Amino acid sequence: MPYVDIVTVLAVLQFVVFGFKVARARGRFGVKAPATTGNEVFERHFRVQQNTLEQLVVVLPGLYLFGHYISPLIAAALGVVYLIGREVYAAGYVRDPAKRGPGYGLSFFPALFLLIGGLFGAVRALFYLS
């Protein structure tokens, strides 16, 4: 499923870039490791990265299972929506945490849809098997 695999890598690379931004904010605002608090803007970057980690464990199994049971192309397309949603989320959160909602929804709902689709596909496969 090369389409799904490409989107998988892009989702992980996006997370890596968010991590770079945390490291840059660490330097810029003088937040010394192991601290993860002390500067509001640093904390925003940090929370964007941490929340993206939480979303990755939803979207990666979702991409794989939806791609396997339903359609790799639709899975990849939903994954692209997720990627865009995460960019909107990150930009919104860093500007103003109160405005993180729309980007959150735009990334969370495709991820959830992938996962529920994968569940549906697996349950259906169970009935075909038996």
Residues that bind a copy of itself (CB under 8 A): 2-3, 5-6, 8-10, 12-13, 15-16, 19, 32-37, 40, 43-44, 46-47, 49, 53-54, 56-58, 60-62, 65, 68-69, 93, 97-98, 100, 112, 115-116, 118-119, 121-123, 125-126, 129
Cα distances (angstroms) measured from residue 19 to each of 96, 114, 127: 19, 25, 43
Closest distance to a copy of itself from the beta carbon of 21 (Å): 13
> Would you say 84 or 116 has its CB closer to a copy of itself?
116
Q: What would the two tokens of residue 102 be?
A: 């729309």
Cα 19 to chain centroid distance, Å, stands at 13
Residue with tokens 């998988």: 8
